[in-house]
């Protein structure tokens, strides 16, 4: 594949458009694109990372696997050097191994859930490529759900309806600007997170929409341990409950509404079921504890008077309750979701302009400002003959305890016996919790294959590593899952070294397995792109939209499609006529009590919202490790992607990830701003750089995700040198209902690191034999 002769100078990524600067056939910089009023600074990572020392340039095989063949690795994965090989050697050995695993154990022994964001681009989407290839040769065990909002995906269909509809149909911020008076944001609305939208975006809109709300006098309350979770232009009041206690706070608000007769009985009667069960629980009739504002203060630390005043204000104003996705990425993460719905139901404003609730503002750049009117053409994945799957956050359990039984959304299931693991477009050594346990789990399979363009920690823990072309090195078109822009994305430069597109790799591999025709259907990349675009043109025509042909599209700028519902109010149709527009729940109404969930008999997710303190508080761990660790999304990168790029590096302290700590906690530990510190608990330890700030609540430390995991296997607990929070988080799940990840419920202790700190090795290539 050669670079376009006359590249329209544009690149499209999950964080939006960029204006590339090319010099001598090399990408030297990606600048803000003039079409985007609020361009993302993440473009500043691209050139440095794609041209960085960690770039995978040639196929590589772990030395022990190359010499001795497949088998459990007993600590060698992530430790042993690699040998660089040519493509024929890599693909011959991989095809042979695929044949062996399929013959000996069947395709049900291949795990290719391959969870992760990969990169934008409709055709080169890595998971689609991998799944299409594996489906052509007998299938694979997949994963279900995600790390973003798994509890919402499983819980909300029982309570209100599909969570993805919540996100797409979220009440528009423009509607709040016109009709809203108060927005109470549990988990805030961090602007840093609104840089990205899954699949890409044309322009960033949230900044402008929030400014309009502020200009119209809407009042914002930021309920979060981080002051910066609200844009300063909002002038938000800051309330900082202890992490993991929002449910108690919400219950204190709810019980105040009920005690003072401020709840909307007519709404509850007409639109919900189960209010009496919840009211009985809040009144203390179930466990003897009334969930009053005073009780809430004892759990969450917010003064009772403040809770009572806020409840009254919420009842007196047009109020939007916003719940960040992070709150359900925690122990019992279903509860804040269910309680958000319950609290909004008590206020009775669901379905009214500017009021009700939203779960997921800030989860990407599109929620509340845009939706996609049509689904552009995609590369078909084919059919997977293997039905088996795991809930995505059970990957370590799967590898460590094959055959183990578990509960999931009313089912009793068993974990598969996996021999081969394949990841393309995700980084489990970024996204999964308790990385020391994952490291042990990754020794178990007989073969681990990873496709990536950088030597991530996951690539380092593989046996066979395949170098792929990055977005700027391949021709594609970009369209986000919720954005309205169709973006031509030309190949700007050639892939370095021997890197190839995944389509080329899988075509050649399929050839070795007698499945080339099944995989390619006789088409090359450009044929597929034209085919996918032709289907997009056809779908658009069905909406009365005329799109140019492929050639003219690729030579043009992004095309913006109309917003299907510019003044959307979530659940307004249901509110207008609940009989004609029932919810897809068993009762057709909002289920504040769910017979279905109650029938599952889960003590960790009973039939209505309940308060349960985080595991670490309940079991006393928090007394030994007194700081609550939050690990939110990083401002300077997308997850772990391009951590070795210039913008990400510019925010490090002594080359390490910054950890935010309150001045009182810093003083108590003898820590000064800029010190190298060590965070530790029973699961692991890591170094980080201290950032002392009163913009974080006392008792909480905040270490952003995404610093490439950099374990030193010779240190106790294989201490991570770089600052990856997932060495400290547990990988227990939210509950038996949804088995979602619960990363936000971790407790740690901190100390200053004295003496010389070890060099960070994560951005260097691994050792080659
Ligand atoms: N502690 C803690 N952990 C968390 C979270 C948290 O809040 N706290 N958040 C969680 C959330 S919400 C998420 S979504 C996950 C994110 O977890 P991931 O999505 O796994 O993280 P990424 O860093 O985006 O990983 C994508 C990988 O794909 C690679 N890649 C990009 N393009 C291509 C391509 O074309 N082909 C191939 N083969 N590879 C490509 C990138 O280089 C990168 O290594 O993390 C989760 N982990
Ligand atoms: N720049 C950038 N943007 C991103 C991403 C990225 O990697 N980089 N990732 C994207 C992805 S995949 C996702 S899923 C979304 C995630 O979107 P969110 O889940 O909304 O983001 P987080 O940063 O995990 O959490 C938001 C805030 O919740 C607060 N919080 C955490 N725990 C608690 C708690 O117990 N109580 C209260 N009241 N507040 C709490 C934290 O202060 C944190 O800043 O972000 C997306 N946006
Ligand atoms: Mo996510």
Each residue of 173-198: pLDDT tens digit?
A: 999 999 999 999 999 999 999 999 99
- Above pLDDT 70, what percent of the chain? 99
Q: Would you call 213 exposed, middle or buried from its count of C-beta atoms within 10 A (0-12, 13-18, 19+)?
A: buried
Index of the ligand 2 atom closest to the CA of residue 226: 42
φ, ψ at 11 (rounded to 5°): -135, 145
CB of 725 within 6 A of ligand 1: the answer is yes
> Ligand 2 centroid to 751 CA: how many Å?
26
Assess whether pLDDT exceeds 70 at residue 6: no
CB of 238 within 6 A of ligand 2: the answer is no
**Model confidence at 8, in pLDDT bands (50, 70, 90)?**
low
Nearest CA to ligand 1 atom 27: 426
Across the range 327-344, mean pLDDT stands at: 98
Chain region(s) in the chain for CATH 3.40.228.10: 170-370+571-600
Give the number of the ligand closest to the Cα of residue 431.
1
Chain region(s) in the chain for CATH 2.40.40.20: 615-752
What's the length of the chain?
769
Assess whether pLDDT exceeds 50 at residue 509: yes
Assess whether pLDDT exceeds 50 at residue 767: yes
pLDDT in tens, 444-469: 999 999 999 999 999 999 999 999 99
Could you give the CA distance from residue 80 to residue 85 in angstroms, rounded to a whole number? 16
Could you give the CA distance from residue 2 to residue 56 in angstroms, rounded to a whole number? 19
CB of 188 within 6 A of ligand 2: the answer is yes
Assess whether pLDDT exceeds 60 at residue 346: yes
- How high is the mean pLDDT of the chain? 97
CATH class entry, domain 170-370+571-600: alpha beta
Index of the ligand 2 atom closest to the CA of residue 42: 1
Could you give the CA distance from residue 656 to residue 721 in angstroms, rounded to a whole number? 8
Please state the three-class secondary structure of 590-611 as a single string: EECCCHHHHHHCCCCCCCCCCC
Q: Residue 741: beta bridge partners?
A: 733
Across the range 524-538, mean pLDDT stands at: 98
Please state the three-class secondary structure of 201-213 as a single string: CCCCCHHHHHHHH
Say which CATH topology domain 60-147+374-560 has.
Rossmann fold (3.40.50)
Is residue 479 a contact partner of residue 11, using CB atoms and an 8 Å limit? no
CB of 420 within 6 A of ligand 2: the answer is no
Could you give the CA distance from residue 466 to residue 673 in angstroms, rounded to a whole number? 41
Nearest CA to ligand 2 atom 4: 193
Could you give the CA distance from residue 352 to residue 348 in angstroms, rounded to a whole number? 9
Q: Tell which residue, 589, 568, 538, 155, has the closest CA to residue 370.
A: 568
Could you give the CA distance from residue 637 to residue 645 in angstroms, rounded to a whole number? 9
Is residue 226 a contact partner of residue 704, using CB atoms and an 8 Å limit? no
CB of 324 within 6 A of ligand 2: the answer is yes
Could you give the CA distance from residue 117 to residue 459 in angstroms, rounded to a whole number? 16
Per DSSP, the residues of 162-229 read -HHHHHHTPPPHHHHHHH-SEEEEET---GGGGG--TT--S---HHHHHHHHHHTT-EEEEESSBGGG
pLDDT in tens, 684-697: 999 999 999 999 99
Structure confidence at residue 3 (pLDDT): 39
Chain region(s) in the chain for CATH 3.40.50.740: 60-147+374-560
Structure tokens at 433: 């919790």
CB of 639 within 6 A of ligand 2: the answer is yes
> Ligand 1 centroid to 355 CA: how many Å?
34
Residues in CB range of 767: below 8 A, 6 or more apart: 81, 82
> Ligand 2 centroid to 679 CA: how many Å?
21
User: Residues with catalytic annotation?
Assistant: 115, 117
**Cα Dmax for the chain:** 75
> Ligand 1 centroid to 709 CA: how many Å?
13
Residues in CB range of 172: below 8 A, 6 or more apart: 209, 368, 369, 565, 566, 567, 568, 569
Best residue among 425, 633, 701, 725 to mutate for probing ligand 1, ranked by most atoms within 8 Å of CB: 425
- Residue 11 φ/ψ region, left for φ over 0, alpha for ψ in the -120 to 50 degree band, beta for the rest: beta
Index of the ligand 2 atom closest to the CA of residue 198: 12
Q: CA–CA distance from 258 to each of 133, 249, 495, 542, 594 (Å)?
A: 57, 14, 63, 50, 21
Structure tokens at 150: 């798994």
Sign of the C-alpha dihedral computed for residues 653, 657, 660 and 661 taken in this order: negative
CB of 229 within 6 A of ligand 2: the answer is yes
Structure tokens at 439: 């490291």
Residue that is written with structure tokens 């910054």 in the block: 658
Give the number of the ligand closest to the Cα of residue 745.
2
> Ligand 1 centroid to 72 CA: how many Å?
25
| Segment holding 529, helix H or strand E | helix 525-542
Index of the ligand 1 atom closest to the CA of residue 456: 44
> Ligand 3 centroid to 367 CA: how many Å?
13
Structure confidence at residue 477 (pLDDT): 96
Sign of the C-alpha dihedral computed for residues 197, 203, 207 and 211 taken in this order: negative
H helix runs in 303-383, sequence order: 304-316, 334-347
CB of 121 within 6 A of ligand 1: the answer is no
pLDDT in tens, 378-398: 999 999 999 999 999 999 999
Q: What is the pTM of this model?
A: 0.98
Residues in CB range of 564: below 8 A, 6 or more apart: 371, 372, 373
Residues in CB range of 83: below 8 A, 6 or more apart: 60, 61, 62, 63, 66, 768, 769
Residue that is written with structure tokens 């809203």 in the block: 180
pLDDT in tens, 236-294: 999 999 999 999 999 999 999 999 999 999 999 999 999 999 999 999 999 999 999 99
Is residue 516 a contact partner of residue 114, using CB atoms and an 8 Å limit? no
In the three-class reduction of DSSP (H, G, I as helix; E, B as strand; rest coil), residue 456 is classed as: coil
Q: Tell which residue, 577, 750, 769, has the closest CA to residue 676.
A: 750
Could you give the CA distance from residue 760 to residue 718 in angstroms, rounded to a whole number? 14
Nearest CA to ligand 1 atom 25: 426
In the three-class reduction of DSSP (H, G, I as helix; E, B as strand; rest coil), residue 504 is classed as: helix
Structure confidence at residue 10 (pLDDT): 83
Q: CA–CA distance from 661 to each of 81, 239, 635, 696, 704 (Å)?
A: 38, 17, 17, 7, 12
Structure confidence at residue 1 (pLDDT): 30
Could you give the CA distance from residue 380 to residue 359 in angstroms, rounded to a whole number? 31
Could you give the CA distance from residue 547 to residue 540 in angstroms, rounded to a whole number? 7
Assess whether pLDDT exceeds 60 at residue 7: no
Residue that is written with structure tokens 């322009």 in the block: 203
Could you give the CA distance from residue 436 to residue 725 in angstroms, rounded to a whole number? 12
pLDDT in tens, 17-66: 999 999 998 999 999 998 899 999 999 999 999 999 999 999 999 999 99
Best residue among 130, 427, 455, 748 to mutate for probing ligand 1, ranked by most atoms within 8 Å of CB: 427
Nearest CA to ligand 2 atom 11: 363
CB of 733 within 6 A of ligand 2: the answer is no
Assess whether pLDDT exceeds 60 at residue 2: no
| Segment holding 478, helix H or strand E | strand 476-478
CB of 155 within 6 A of ligand 2: the answer is no
**Model confidence at 556, in pLDDT bands (50, 70, 90)?**
confident
What's the gap between Cα 367 and its chain centre? 14
Say which CATH topology domain 615-752 has.
Barwin-like endoglucanases (2.40.40)
Structure tokens at 167: 């996100």
Could you give the CA distance from residue 368 to residue 228 in angstroms, rounded to a whole number? 20
Index of the ligand 2 atom closest to the CA of residue 362: 20
φ, ψ at 740 (rounded to 5°): -85, 160
Strands 82-84 and 464-467: unpaired
Index of the ligand 2 atom closest to the CA of residue 117: 12
**Model confidence at 669, in pLDDT bands (50, 70, 90)?**
very high
Could you give the CA distance from residue 441 to residue 397 in angstroms, rounded to a whole number? 8
In the three-class reduction of DSSP (H, G, I as helix; E, B as strand; rest coil), residue 709 is classed as: coil
Could you give the CA distance from residue 723 to residue 706 in angstroms, rounded to a whole number? 9
pLDDT in tens, 466-488: 999 999 999 999 999 999 999 99
What's the gap between Cα 164 and its chain centre? 14
Could you give the CA distance from residue 203 to residue 33 in angstroms, rounded to a whole number? 9
Is residue 301 a contact partner of residue 241, using CB atoms and an 8 Å limit? yes
Give the number of the ligand closest to the Cα of residue 335.
2
């Amino acid at each position: 594949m050669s670079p376009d002769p006359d590249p329209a100078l544009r690149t499209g990524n999950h964080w939006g458009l960029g204006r590339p600067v090319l010099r001598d056939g090399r990408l030297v910089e990606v600048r803000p694109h003039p079409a985007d009023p609020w361009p993302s600074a993440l473009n500043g990572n691209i050139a440095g990372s794609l041209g960085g020392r960690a770039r995978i340039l040639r196929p590589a095989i772990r030395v022990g696997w190359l010499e001795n063949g497949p088998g459990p690795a007993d600590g060698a994965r992530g430790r042993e050097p690699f040998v660089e090989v040519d493509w024929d050697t890599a693909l011959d050995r991989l095809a042979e191994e695929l044949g062996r695993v399929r013959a000996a154990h069947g395709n049900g022994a291949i795990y290719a859930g391959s969870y992760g964001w990969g990169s934008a681009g409709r055709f080169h989407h890595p998971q689609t490529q991998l799944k299409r290839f594996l489906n052509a040769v007998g299938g694979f065990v997949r994963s279900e759900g995600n790390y973003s909002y798994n509890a919402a995906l499983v819980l909300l269909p029982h309570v209100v309806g599909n969570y993805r509809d919540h996100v797409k149909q979220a009440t528009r911020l423009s509607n709040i600007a016109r009709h809203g008076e108060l927005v109470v944001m549990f988990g805030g609305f961090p602007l840093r997170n609104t840089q990205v939208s899954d699949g890409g975006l044309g322009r960033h809109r949230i900044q402008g929409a929030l400014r309009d709300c502020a200009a119209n006098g809407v009042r914002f309350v930021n309920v979060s341990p981080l002051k910066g979770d609200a844009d300063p232009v909002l002038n938000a009041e800051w309330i900082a409950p202890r992490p993991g206690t929002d449910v108690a706070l919400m219950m204190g608000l709810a019980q105040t509404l009920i005690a003072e007769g401020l709840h909307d009985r007519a709404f509850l009667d007409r639109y919900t079921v189960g209010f009496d069960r919840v009211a009985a629980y809040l009144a203390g009739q179930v466990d003897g504890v009334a969930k009053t504002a005073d009780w809430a203060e004892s759990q969450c630390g917010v003064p009772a008077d403040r809770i009572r005043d806020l409840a009254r204000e919420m009842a007196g104003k047009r109020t939007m309750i916003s719940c960040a996705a992070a709150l359900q990425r925690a122990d019992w993460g279903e509860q804040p979701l269910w309680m958000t719905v319950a609290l909004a139901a008590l206020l009775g404003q669901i379905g009214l302009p500017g009021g009700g609730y939203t779960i997921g503002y800030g989860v990407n750049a599109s929620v509340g400002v845009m939706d996609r009117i049509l689904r552009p053409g995609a590369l078909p994945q084919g059919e997977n003959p293997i039905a088996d799957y795991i809930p995505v956050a059970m990957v370590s359990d799967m590898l460590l305890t094959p055959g183990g039984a578990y509960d999931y959304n009313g089912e009793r299931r068993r974990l598969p016996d996996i021999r081969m693991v394949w990841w393309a477009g995700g980084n489990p050594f970024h996204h999964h919790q308790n990385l020391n346990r994952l490291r042990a789990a990754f020794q178990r399979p007989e073969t681990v294959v990873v496709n990536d363009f950088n030597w991530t920690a996951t690539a380092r823990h593989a046996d066979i590593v395949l170098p792929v072309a990055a977005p700027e090195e391949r021709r594609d078109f970009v369209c986000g899952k919720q954005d309205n822009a169709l973006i031509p994305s030309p190949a700007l430069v050639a892939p370095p070294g021997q890197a190839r597109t995944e389509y080329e790799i899988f075509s050649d591999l399929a050839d070795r397995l007698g499945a080339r025709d099944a995989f390619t259907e006789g088409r090359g990349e450009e044929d597929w792109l034209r085919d996918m675009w032709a289907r997009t043109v056809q779908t658009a025509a069905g909406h009365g939209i005329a799109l140019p042909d492929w050639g003219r599209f690729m030579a043009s700028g992004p095309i913006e499609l109309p917003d299907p519902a510019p003044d959307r109010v979530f659940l307004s149709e249901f509110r207008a006529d609940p009989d004609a527009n029932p919810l897809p729940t068993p009762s057709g109404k909002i289920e504040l009590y769910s017979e279905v969930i109650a029938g599952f008999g889960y003590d960790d997710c009973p039939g209505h919202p309940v308060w349960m303190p985080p595991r670490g508080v309940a079991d006393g761990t928090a007394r030994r490790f007194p700081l609550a660790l939050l690990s939110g999304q990083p401002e300077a990168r997308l997850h772990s992607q391009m951590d070795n790029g210039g913008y990400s590096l510019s925010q490090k302290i002594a080359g390490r990830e910054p950890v935010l700590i309150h001045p009182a906690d810093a003083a108590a530990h003898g820590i000064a701003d800029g010190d190298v510190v060590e965070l530790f608990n029973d699961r692991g330890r890591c170094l980080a750089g201290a950032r002392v700030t009163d913009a974080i609540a006392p008792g909480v430390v905040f270490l952003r995700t995404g610093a490439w995991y950099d374990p030193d296997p010779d240190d106790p607990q294989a201490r991570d040198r770089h600052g990856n929070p997932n060495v400290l988080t547990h990988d227990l799940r939210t509950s038996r209902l949804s088995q979602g990840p619960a990363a936000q419920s971790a407790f740690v202790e901190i100390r200053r690191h004295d003496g010389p700190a070890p060099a960070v090795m994560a951005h260097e290539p691994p050792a080659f034999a």
